[in-house]
Structure 1
Amino acid sequence: MIFKELGLNARLVSRLDALGLTQPTPIQEQAIPQALQGRDILGIAQTGTGKTAAFCIPLIVDLSKRQDRPAPRSARGLVLAPTRELAGQIVQTLQGLTTDLRITLVVGGKSINTQSERLARGTDILVATPGRLIDLMDRRAIGLGQTRFLVLDEADQMLDIGFIHALRRIASMLGTDRQTMMFSATMPKAMADLSRQYLDKPIRVEVSPPGKVADKVTHSVHFVAKDQKQDLLIELLGGHRDERALVFSRTKHGAERLMKHLDRAGFAATSIHGNKSQGQRDRAIAAFKAGSVRVLVATDVAARGIDIPGVGHVYNYDLPNVPENYVHRIGRTARAGQSGRAIAFCAAEEVTELKAIEKVLGTRVEIAGGRPWDAMTCATKSQKNRCTHRRSTERSDRMAA
């Protein structure tokens, strides 16, 4: 099938061709025709499956056909995303597909006064992170009474990082006469509850079931003591200095310390995390894309928010507390038909996390080095207390990322 067969107009098909998009992915092929008929959509799809275009295309088609223009301080369509980076990429996709619609981005880390001014004349499509949107609503800079299209992208991540109350408040400001599309990589109970609140008799579209690693990613684990991780990372990075590598740290402070250590070791490295301003994050990603920086150290703020072809290696320096994030992290490599490698480090304290990941995957992760730890983490009472404190601290850290 080609995009033209989905009933898209010639101008949009031409723009898709210019972007190198001629054949819809499975999620696009299933979701776009249903969305064009006005149906609510519940899409279950992993990162990298093309779901951004699956909701951008129907939005553009419908809004382009309507004669009405946005009223001041209103938005005809609203797209919510969990991170600034993902929101920015959605805007880039929309802008690549249309020049006829007014598209506005509002995220934290940017001047709220400037964003208020941009919203004063209204917008066709508003792409926002929930927290900043709430701030603008409180200032009466934007109203959602005329919003007829709502998209929740990476809805499970929004729940995971604590946006549930913000989502409920935003939903209460929307009219019931709307079309809603919700996309998620996983379907926990909280997601099912959320879908019942937001969606009306939705069409469920599911591709790449949760826990499935992309076909062209080879992934493995090194069992290594926590205090030896840095040396192992430097050794492995030294084997492919000319390739881009994305390194995931669990915490903001850990990411910054690791980046500085790599810089001292002679690697062109930078970092993104919740303590960085939006300008710093944008510059770091731009340098990584351009190749002037070869190593990007990040928290899970980048697990679903970066689409950079040519990332040859992903390192899970720290294993994620949320096992599904392992799949999202390693999905940053092997994009656009390329192959990639993902290497995880597992210290004794992380055995529980590794077992949870393997349960989600339904298989064991191949061992690349070291011996599996014989004892479970936190065996003694004092160790348990330290682990409980560590996880509580890291949860708070992740919420702010």
Structure 2
Amino acid sequence: MEEESLQFHEMGIDDRILDAISKLGWSQPTPIQEKAIPLALKGKDILARARTGSGKTAAYAIAVIHKLLHLKQTASEQAIRAVILTPSKELCSQSHKNILELTVGCSRDIKCVDISPQVALASQRPLLLEKPDIIVATPSRLLAHIRAENVNVKNTLEMLVVDEADLVFSFGYEADVKELLSNFPKIYQAFMMSATLGEDVNSLKKLVLHNAVILKLEESQLPESSQLNQYHIKCEDRDKFALTAALLKLNLVRGKTIFFVNAVNRCYLLKLFLEQFGIRACILNSELPVNSRCHIVSQFNDGLYDYIIAADETIVDAPTTKSESLNQKSKFNRLRKKNKEYGMSRGIDFYNVSNVINFDFPQSSDAYIHRVGRTARADNPGTALSFVSIKDNEKLQEVETALIGENGDDEASVFKPYNFRMEEIEGFRYRAKDALQAVTRSAIQEARMKDIRQEIFNSSKLQSYFDDNPHDLQALRHDKPLHSVKVAKS
């Protein structure tokens, strides 16, 4: 007989949080929430592995808010009692938003501040002097405030959360985390949330957790084939462009779509190519200011754009020749400020994404899982389509082996061939060839610099105006043509 699942109202959660949950339309907890919240309310340290989109953020947020409400009933003074660390500014913004949604009924009692934005430390000092109950930050940003003596949690910290824990060390935060821990009390409750459990997570676990309960849900890291269809097309680089134009112009790909490429230059190459077919798309990469990145994601979620081209920079975005490297270094030294706090394929909530297209095949099975995890979230269906060249065959096999091994099914193939005959797009091939020839290296560099300058202007110069005029922010679009090449008639 199947055991009945535990409902939110049966967990002893504060009524104000239950009201917020109801307003959010969450009828019942996800598996990770059902298991993690009761343990957290009992004071246990938790290491939880659950796939992207499984509700990990709400699992720790509900527990943290409930415990803070309980602590404040007997607290004699206001203090920072909870710290939430995430590896990227985008994830900080998302976690902060989720907490605000869950504290809508107790906002006077629970204050939460996101200090990840890269503004002057002094400008955030007044917020921190008010001692918000919860601070959301990247490890490096929190450490900077501690060093500036804007934050002191040595005697007040009760709870620590490390979200997307498997990225913390890979983003270069190991030294920051170790220094942070020396500024924390010896005893606190800690939660670590992760999509994978590897060596980095194990190392971090030893530093952060004490006698932790490890939750490994018996689920695959990607949804079942009934919810997520995974296809591949064998094609070389030139054909990728013709295929993309054909899929979009013939409406074979419908709905909100994220294209993943492996380098920043590839973002602009694909965008400029699509512009010649009258197809507009946004770009996301580590060079853009965080305000712009968060705004692009927000507008995409609101349905303003159909297509995002995202650089999943899991490999070095390096030029191919030494002379090109020197040339780029001089041109982009001031403009290019890639930061380790950018994470495109991980954790960020994109709403109602119908398709993920791996224009460039990912560099590892983990990268594949995190990219494809942007679609088929919750109970929504989704499609993942990967372009696979000859040099990608080994990586394709690696991904398939990892996913088959996880599901324990040695017979079924994870990938279905996409039934598309290349000869049927011969007309697009010729147009694609002409369009690609127009997208020269200089056109890409010009577009790249123009886009970065414009986004920096949008992000900094207009920030104060948009703070006062939020409705005008909707008029700020990020998919405008860059006009670096002549647009052909479609």
Same fold flag (TM > 0.5): yes
Structure 1 Cα separation of the partners of residues 223 and 32 of structure 2:
16
Q: Does 1:229 align with 2:240?
A: yes
Structure 1 Cα separation of the partners of residues 21 and 207 of structure 2:
34
Quick one: which amino acid aligns to residue 395 of structure 2?
E
Check conservation: 1:76, 1:147, Cα contact below 8 A: yes
Quick one: which amino acid aligns to residue 151 of structure 1?
V
Aligned to 1:52: 57
Aligned to 2:264: 252
Aligned to 2:176: 166
Structure 1 Cα separation of the partners of residues 132 and 49 of structure 2:
28
Q: SS of the residue aligned with 1:292?
A: coil
Aligned pair partner of 2:386 in 337, 344, 362: 344
Q: SS of the residue aligned with 1:123?
A: coil
Structure 2 Cα separation of the partners of residues 138 and 191 of structure 1:
26
Aligned pair partner of 1:18 in 12, 18, 23: 23
Quick one: which amino acid aligns to residue 168 of structure 2?
M
Structure 2 Cα separation of the partners of residues 51 and 274 of structure 1:
25
Larger Rg belongs to: 2
Deviation at 1:368, TM superposition (A): 1.9
Q: Does 1:282 align with 2:294?
A: yes
**Residues 221-272 of structure 1 deviation map (CA, whole Å, 9 limit, x = unaligned):** 1111122222212222332576110111122232233233323432231011
**Residues 327-357 of structure 1 deviation map (CA, whole Å, 9 limit, x = unaligned):** 1211111223110101011122222322221
Deviation at 1:64, TM superposition (A): 0.9
Cα 1:252–1:182 shift into 2, 3 Å: same
Deviation at 1:148, TM superposition (A): 1.6
Aligned to 1:122: 131
Check conservation: 1:153, 1:182, Cα contact below 8 A: yes
Aligned to 2:163: 153
Deviation at 1:110, TM superposition (A): 4.1
Q: SS of the residue aligned with 2:308?
A: strand
State the identity %: 29
Q: SS of the residue aligned with 2:169?
A: helix
Check conservation: 1:223, 1:369, Cα contact below 8 A: no
Aligned to 1:94: 99
Cα 1:225–1:142 shift into 2, 3 Å: same
Structure 1 Cα separation of the partners of residues 218 and 77 of structure 2:
37
Q: Does 1:140 align with 2:135?
A: no
Check conservation: 2:52, 2:221, Cα contact below 8 A: no
Aligned to 2:217: 207
Cα 1:171–1:210 shift into 2, 3 Å: farther
Q: Does 1:366 align with 2:416?
A: yes
Check conservation: 1:70, 1:76, Cα contact below 8 A: no
Structure 2 Cα separation of the partners of residues 241 and 21 of structure 1:
30
Alignment TM-score, normalising by the size of structure 2: 0.71
Check conservation: 2:160, 2:189, Cα contact below 8 A: yes
Quick one: which amino acid aligns to residue 144 of structure 1?
V
Deviation at 1:283, TM superposition (A): 2.5
Structure 2 Cα separation of the partners of residues 130 and 235 of structure 1:
44
Alignment TM-score, normalising by the size of structure 1: 0.86
Aligned to 2:41: 36
Aligned to 1:388: none
Check conservation: 1:46, 1:208, Cα contact below 8 A: no
Aligned to 2:82: 77
Check conservation: 2:254, 2:354, Cα contact below 8 A: no
Structure 1 Cα separation of the partners of residues 153 and 252 of structure 2:
49
Deviation at 1:311, TM superposition (A): 0.9
Quick one: which amino acid aligns to residue 160 of structure 1?
S
More displaced 10-residue stretch of structure 1: 208-217 or 297-306: 208-217
Check conservation: 2:46, 2:192, Cα contact below 8 A: yes
C-alpha RMSD of the superposition:
2.1
**Residues 119-138 of structure 1 deviation map (CA, whole Å, 9 limit, x = unaligned):** 22222111111222232233
Q: SS of the residue aligned with 1:75?
A: coil
Aligned pair partner of 2:198 in 185, 188, 191: 188
Deviation at 1:27, TM superposition (A): 0.3
Aligned pair partner of 1:271 in 270, 278, 283: 283
Cα 1:58–1:351 shift into 2, 3 Å: same
Check conservation: 2:111, 2:132, Cα contact below 8 A: yes
Structure 1 Cα separation of the partners of residues 306 and 69 of structure 2:
41
Deviation at 1:214, TM superposition (A): 4.7
Aligned to 2:486: none
Quick one: which amino acid aligns to residue 233 of structure 1?
T
Relative to total residues, which structure has the larger strand share, 1 or 2? 1
**Residues 44-68 of structure 1 deviation map (CA, whole Å, 9 limit, x = unaligned):** 1111111111100110001111233
Quick one: which amino acid aligns to residue 52 of structure 1?
T
Structure 2 Cα separation of the partners of residues 256 and 107 of structure 1:
27
Quick one: which amino acid aligns to residue 135 of structure 1?
A
Structure 1 Cα separation of the partners of residues 193 and 96 of structure 2:
17
Structure 2 Cα separation of the partners of residues 173 and 230 of structure 1:
52
Structure 2 Cα separation of the partners of residues 165 and 333 of structure 1:
34
Aligned to 1:131: 140
Cα 1:185–1:244 shift into 2, 3 Å: same
Q: SS of the residue aligned with 1:101?
A: coil
Quick one: which amino acid aligns to residue 37 of structure 2?
I
Quick one: which amino acid aligns to residue 316 of structure 1?
N
Cα 1:289–1:211 shift into 2, 3 Å: closer
Quick one: which amino acid aligns to residue 132 of structure 1?
R
Check conservation: 2:20, 2:102, Cα contact below 8 A: yes
Quick one: which amino acid aligns to residue 415 of structure 2?
V
Check conservation: 2:89, 2:116, Cα contact below 8 A: yes
